[in-house]
């Protein structure tokens, strides 16, 4: 019997603002769509956290025995700078700045995205469609919305008529906003703005002569609106009504709100049963932003090549750190938090490594079956990974007591304990056992620190030939030294 038949999963539905029993539209099958990246730059660590949250959800649903079709798109056109209908296309702008073709930008950063997710041990989605691969479907949806009177064409662009839509449906129900309040808080449209109302959004934008990314349409050459692509791809691969739509909290409005409106305008009903939103990642208590320098890329964490953290941290340690917070909570990344996570991760891996050496006893001092169900209860409570991890460490405590001869466990219970630890740690949380690699890293750190000390002594003695030789030979091995007021640190490339 499949586990989902005995485990009652509850999820927090952003649409109803309540925790609800998860019951898929079709028993045993789950359709899940997650908004993917706009591939115009290296993948942001905060975005990695969102995708990691849904990777964990994907893993747990599969663990429960559901057959999951997981669709995560690639946005390679139509995402304008201000996330609305103004400014330049983000990919076209990057192409202009780097003097390369837009699809070169797309290729470069799609490869980067996949490489980073692979390092984090993500499972690939079932389908990964692109916006440019579904232009025809988007044009057909626009035709349908126009035919039903919820959109209008002007000067080669097509806009969704939010006021007209709101006469028959409710615009703003996901984010809890009222259209009347939005209108009263909006300035009058500028004379050059062609939209009827400020709340209207683009379904199709006319391409200016210099716009490289353009496609023919019934309204002239142009490109699709950012919100439209997700409606087209989610409904194509999951149907007019599917189970889960996920993404970051920042997408709730206007992106997801517009998706709901587009789908309801076409099909007459809400497209998604459960809306799930992951929260943001901060750095040292502040919002991550390139403009302020309070920003770090995943590879900079893995190599230690940054000015924020004192050492490098493995992808699995970073993943463990992220899993220690609930996906709907804000999580703050810091040197201290990662160091603590590294210690916890190593303790967990050491306990799992020692499971095979535990000698079974005639009785059990640890109620393994009750503990196993508590692990499931944590995950069944809206994928509560911090509570799951706390339960796993309770298992670690008992493993250590058994190892010390202070408790015993029967052969059957040892099997259940081993199976449960492996299932939740590796299959559900998606961690990898890299303790041996971690020991090698510690040894390397020790050797480099010794060489740094010898170099400092040489510099004190004005033996610059020796100090330069140490620096240059380490650099030749891919180890860069960085001197600052606080001392010398190193990174590995």
Confidence class of residue 493 from pLDDT cuts 50, 70 and 90? low
Instruction: Name which of 171-175, 277-281, 293-297 the model is least confident about.
Output: 293-297
Answer yes or no: is 311 within a domain: no
Answer yes or no: is 293 within a domain: no
Report the CATH number at residue 406.
Answer: 1.20.120.640
Query: Between residues 358 and 292, which one has the greater pLDDT?
Result: 358
User: In angstroms, rounded to a whole number, what is the distance separating the alpha carbons of residues 171 and 173?
Assistant: 6
Q: Both 190 and 252 in a single domain?
A: yes
The angle that helices 411-422 and 368-380 make with each other, rounded to 10 degrees, is 20
Task: Please name the residues in contact with 309: beta carbons below 8 A apart, sequence gap of 6 or more.
Answer: 296, 301, 335, 338
CA-atom Rg of the chain in angstroms: 26
Answer yes or no: is 103 within a domain: yes
Confidence class of residue 443 from pLDDT cuts 50, 70 and 90? low
Segments forming the whole domain that contains residue 480: 436-492
Answer yes or no: is 312 within a domain: no
Residue 438 has pLDDT above 50, yes or no: no
Model confidence pLDDT, tens digit, residues 53-68: 999 999 999 999 999 9
Confidence class of residue 83 from pLDDT cuts 50, 70 and 90? low
User: In angstroms, rounded to a whole number, what is the distance separating the alpha carbons of residues 382 and 192?
Assistant: 47
Residue where a domain terminates, one of 278, 300, 329 = 278
Q: Both 245 and 342 in a single domain?
A: no
Please tell me whether residue 423 adopts helix, strand or coil conformation: helix
Q: Both 274 and 190 in a single domain?
A: yes
Confidence class of residue 481 from pLDDT cuts 50, 70 and 90? confident
Query: Between residues 473 and 420, which one has the greater pLDDT?
Result: 420
Q: How many domains does the chain have?
A: 3
Q: What is the mean pLDDT of residues 343-357?
A: 95
Q: Both 94 and 236 in a single domain?
A: yes
In eight-state DSSP terms, residue 55 is H
pLDDT at site 440: 54
Residue where a domain terminates, one of 216, 249, 278 = 278
Report the CATH number at residue 177.
Answer: 3.40.50.620
Residue where a domain terminates, one of 403, 428, 453 = 428
Q: Both 423 and 444 in a single domain?
A: no
Residue ranges of the alpha helices (H) in 72-223? 90-98, 102-119, 135-147, 162-168, 179-184
Answer yes or no: is 292 within a domain: no
Query: Between residues 481 and 323, which one has the greater pLDDT?
Result: 323
* Mean pLDDT, the chain, whole residue set: 93
Answer yes or no: is 361 within a domain: yes
Q: Both 403 and 475 in a single domain?
A: no
Q: Both 191 and 245 in a single domain?
A: yes
Name the token pair of 479.
């180890």
Residue 84 has pLDDT above 70, yes or no: no
Q: What is the mean pLDDT of residues 98-103?
A: 93
Q: Both 125 and 209 in a single domain?
A: yes
Please tell me whether residue 287 adopts helix, strand or coil conformation: strand
Residue 417 has pLDDT above 70, yes or no: yes
Model confidence pLDDT, tens digit, residues 215-227: 999 999 999 999 9
Q: Both 389 and 456 in a single domain?
A: no
Name the token pair of 448.
């480099």
pLDDT at site 485: 64
Answer yes or no: is 443 within a domain: yes
Residue 381 has pLDDT above 80, yes or no: yes
- Given a contact cutoff of 8 angstroms between Cβ atoms, the answer to whether 243 and 33 are in contact is no
Query: Between residues 463 and 249, which one has the greater pLDDT?
Result: 249
- Given a contact cutoff of 8 angstroms between Cβ atoms, the answer to whether 274 and 22 are in contact is yes
> By percentage, how much of the chain surpasses pLDDT 70?
95
Residue 183 has pLDDT above 50, yes or no: yes
Q: Both 88 and 150 in a single domain?
A: yes
Residue 254 has pLDDT above 80, yes or no: yes
User: In angstroms, rounded to a whole number, what is the distance separating the alpha carbons of residues 271 and 259?
Assistant: 9
Residue 90 has pLDDT above 50, yes or no: yes
Answer yes or no: is 298 within a domain: no
Q: What is the mean pLDDT of residues 389-411?
A: 96
Q: Both 353 and 253 in a single domain?
A: no
Residue 192 has pLDDT above 80, yes or no: no
- Given a contact cutoff of 8 angstroms between Cβ atoms, the answer to whether 386 and 325 are in contact is yes
Residue 34 burial by CB count (10 A; 0-12/13-18/19+): exposed, middle or buried?
buried
Q: How many helices (H) and strands (E) does the chain have?
A: 16, 15
Residue 103 burial by CB count (10 A; 0-12/13-18/19+): exposed, middle or buried?
middle
pLDDT at site 50: 98
Residue 191 has pLDDT above 80, yes or no: no
Residue 45 burial by CB count (10 A; 0-12/13-18/19+): exposed, middle or buried?
buried
Q: Both 175 and 104 in a single domain?
A: yes
């Amino acid at each position: 019997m499949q586990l989902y038949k005995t485990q009652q999963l509850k999820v927090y539905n952003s649409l109803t603002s309540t925790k609800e029993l998860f019951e898929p539209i079709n028993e045993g099958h789950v359709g899940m769509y997650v908004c993917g990246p706009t591939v115009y730059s290296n993948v942001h660590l905060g975005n990695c956290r969102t995708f990691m949250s849904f990777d964990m959800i994907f893993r747990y649903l599969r663990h429960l025995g559901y057959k999951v079709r997981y669709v995560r798109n690639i946005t390679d056109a139509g995402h304008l700078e201000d996330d609305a209908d103004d400014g330049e296309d983000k990919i076209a702008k990057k192409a202009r700045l780097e003097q390369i073709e837009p699809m070169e930008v797309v290729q470069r950063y799609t490869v980067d995205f996949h490489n980073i997710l692979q390092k984090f041990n993500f499972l690939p989605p079932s389908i990964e469609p692109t916006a440019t691969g579904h232009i025809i479907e988007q044009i057909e949806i626009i035709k349908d919305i126009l035919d039903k009177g919820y959109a209008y064409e002007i000067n080669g662009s097509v806009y969704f008529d939010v006021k007209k839509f709101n006469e028959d449906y409710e615009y703003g129900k996901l984010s809890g906003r009222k259209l009347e309040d939005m209108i009263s808080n909006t300035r009058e449209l500028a004379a050059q703005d062609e939209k009827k109302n400020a709340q209207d959004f683009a379904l199709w934008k006319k391409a200016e002569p210099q716009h490289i990314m353009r496609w023919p349409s019934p309204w002239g050459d142009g490109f699709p609106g950012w919100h439209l692509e997700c409606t087209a791809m989610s409904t194509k691969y999951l149907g007019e009504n599917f189970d889960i739509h996920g993404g970051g909290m920042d997408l709730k409005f206007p992106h997801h709100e517009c998706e709901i409106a587009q789908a309801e305008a076409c099909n007459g009903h809400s497209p998604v049963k459960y809306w799930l939103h992951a929260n943001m990642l901060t750095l040292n208590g502040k919002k991550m932003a390139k403009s302020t320098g309070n920003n770090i890329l995943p590879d900079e964490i893995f190599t230690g090549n940054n000015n924020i953290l004192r050492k490098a941290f493995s992808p699995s340690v970073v993943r463990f750190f992220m899993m220690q917070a609930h996906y709907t909570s804000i999580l703050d990344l810091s040197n201290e938090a990662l160091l603590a996570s590294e210690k916890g991760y190593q303790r967990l891996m050491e306990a799992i490594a020692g499971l095979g050496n535990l000698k079974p006893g005639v009785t059990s001092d640890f109620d393994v079956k009750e503990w196993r169900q508590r692990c499931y209860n944590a995950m069944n409570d809206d994928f509560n990974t911090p509570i799951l991890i706390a339960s796993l460490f309770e298992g670690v405590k008992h493993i250590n007591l058994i190892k010390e001869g202070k408790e015993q466990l029967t052969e059957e219970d040892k099997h259940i304990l081993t199976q449960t630890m492996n299932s939740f740690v590796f299959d559900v949380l998606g961690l990898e056992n890299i303790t041996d690699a971690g020991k090698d890293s510690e040894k390397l750190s020790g050797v480099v620190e010794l060489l740094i000390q010898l170099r400092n002594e040489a510099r004190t003695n004005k033996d610059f030939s020796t100090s330069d030789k140490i620096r240059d030979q380490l650099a030749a091995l891919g180890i860069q030294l960085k001197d600052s007021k606080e001392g010398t640190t190193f990174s590995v490339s």
